[in-house]
Structure formats: structure tokens, C-alpha cells
Chain A
Amino acid sequence: MKLGILINEGPYQHQASDSALQFSKAAIEKGHEIFRVFFYNDGVNNATRLAIPPQDDRNITKEWSELAKKNNIDLVVCVAAAQRRGLIDADEAKRNGKDADNIAEGFRISGLGQLVEAGIQSDRLITFGD
């Protein structure tokens, strides 16, 4: 099946992203396709390139980047939610006169339409949030 994942909370603060990671890994192992992982609300914070989590604990952003690379998963960060919370890519930084960008590898910023499309195209959409 094609599965869509919606993550509404940032890394570490809530278990949402961890639960979604574990679920996604299990789904892939079972031969399902993750159509898209959409990050909304504080979930956009999963996409920061600048986190330095403790060495003896998981690196959530990196885990998503690696899972996406290995399995060709589309990781999408909502542009409106990202702008509110200061997650920007190089193009956005340029367009808005910001002196830096901070999106991690494998994530792309796009519109809410990508979430709706995930709902339409996936066989199941599973939400992980607060």
C-alpha cells in the first residue's frame, strides 16, 4: 500500500516524530511504500540542519534524511508553517533577505497542497502529533 505520514510536532519535544520513524521503518520492511512524509505545525522543526543532539542519543533529523535517501521518500515541509518558525531553504532565504538557510538534506519546502495530495493519493494517511 501507499502510505502517507503527517507529523505535527517537532523532534524531542514530543514522541510524534519518533513514533512516525518507527512506523515508517516497519512499513518499509513489510514492503509498503511511503508516498510522502509531510511536516506541519511544529513538525517543520524536524527539518533543521543545525541541531546538535547529544552523541549518545538518536539524531532524529539525520534518521529522516537517511531513511528518505535509502528508500526514496519525499519529505515535505509546509512553507507557511516553516516561515512562521524560521525554517528556510536557500531560495527562500534569498527571496526574503535572510542571512542564512537551515534545511537539512532530503527535506524540501512546499505548499499545503502536498498534504492534500498525500491524502488523495495514499491508501492510508496516518497522523502523529500531540
Chain B
Amino acid sequence: MSDEANNEAKVKKFMYVNRKSPYGTIYALESLEVVLITAAFDQDVSLAFLDDGVYQLTKNQKTEGIGMKNFSPTFAALGDYDIKKIYIEKDSLDERGLDISDLQELVYEDEDNDYEEKSSIHLVSKEELSKIMDEQDVTLSF
């Protein structure tokens, strides 16, 4: 089988674990770039946000003052790439005095349900996230 055919045949569960705040380092941005490419390979993609990673999804990021590009709008496009499994770890929000309403509302269109708009965001406990992580074939951390 050619490499291309090999890639097409295999679908693996890829999870991207995000634990760092955006802008202080490049990991949040460059991790997101890999996520988008993985979707193009038709893999089963999940994203997990825990610890400071939850800050990557805050609303109203204004980056002019630090002279950096605001890449947070890219998260809103994930639904268009059929990436709809976005897990937010609950304790990480609580410890930071944050609420799910502080985060972007990320949605996708459910093609099995008349393209009804649904939330891609799943608030999970550590126990739930542990189970989800355990189901993954490939886990990438940056």
C-alpha cells in the first residue's frame, strides 16, 4: 500500500493536551496549528484544556498592547473542521476563579440533525478526563 493509502485507511484518536496560558509562550498557537492539520487527515481529534490551558479560550483577548497577533478567533473555526470534542477540566476553571461563561462558545453544525448548531465544549471532571485520555491512540503535548 502506498503511504497515502496507508494514511487514508487508518483513523486514530488524537488528543491535544493544552496546559499553558497563551502568549507567554508559543505552545498554544503552534499546538492549534497541528490540530488543524490533523483534521485535514480525517483523524478523530479531541482537545483537552486543563491547568493554565483554560486561558487559551477566554473571550475578549486584546493583544494590540503586547504587539502580538490574536489567534483566539481560530478556535471558533474548529467546528468547521469537524472538531467538536473540546474538553475543559472543571477544577482548572474553579482554581482560577473562572466559569464556563468566561470562555468562548465553540460550536459545530450537526449534519445528522439538520445542521443544528451544538456546543463543542464539554466540561469534565478529572475522573472523566482521565477516562477520555485513556481512550486515545496518540496524545500530543506541547
Query: Are B43 and A40 in contact, with the CB atoms below 8 A?
Result: no
What interface size band does chain B fall in? 20 to 34
Q: Is B38 an interface residue (CB 8 A)?
A: yes
Q: Given known contacts A116-B37, A116-B38, is B26 in contact with A41 (CB within 8 Å)?
A: yes
Of chain B, the residue at the smallest CB distance from A84 is B26
Shortest CB distance B67–A (Å): 15
Query: Are A40 and B30 in contact, with the CB atoms below 8 A?
Result: yes
- B-side contacts of A127, CB under 8 Å: 140-141
- A-side contacts of B140, CB under 8 Å: 6, 119, 125, 127
Query: Are A119 and B138 in contact, with the CB atoms below 8 A?
Result: yes
Of chain B, the residue at the smallest CB distance from A124 is B138
Q: Given known contacts A41-B26, A41-B27, is B34 in contact with A116 (CB within 8 Å)?
A: yes
Beta-carbon contacts under 8 Å, B18-46 to A: 26-27, 30, 33-34, 37-38, 40-41, 43
**Considering the chains assembled together, what is the distance between the CA atoms of A112 and B35 in angstroms?**
10
What interface size band does chain A fall in? 10 to 19
Q: Given known contacts A6-B140, A40-B30, A119-B138, is B37 in contact with A112 (CB within 8 Å)?
A: yes
Q: Is B7 an interface residue (CB 8 A)?
A: yes
Q: Is A115 an interface residue (CB 8 A)?
A: yes
Q: Is A86 an interface residue (CB 8 A)?
A: no
- A-side contacts of B38, CB under 8 Å: 116, 119
Shortest CB distance B137–A (Å): 8
Identify which of B27, B34, B41 contacts A120 (C-beta below 8 A).
B41
| Chain B interface residues toward A at CB < 8 A | 3, 6-7, 10, 12, 14, 26-27, 30, 33-34, 37-38, 40-41, 43, 138, 140-142
Closest 3 CB pairs of A and B: A112-B37, A119-B138, A116-B41
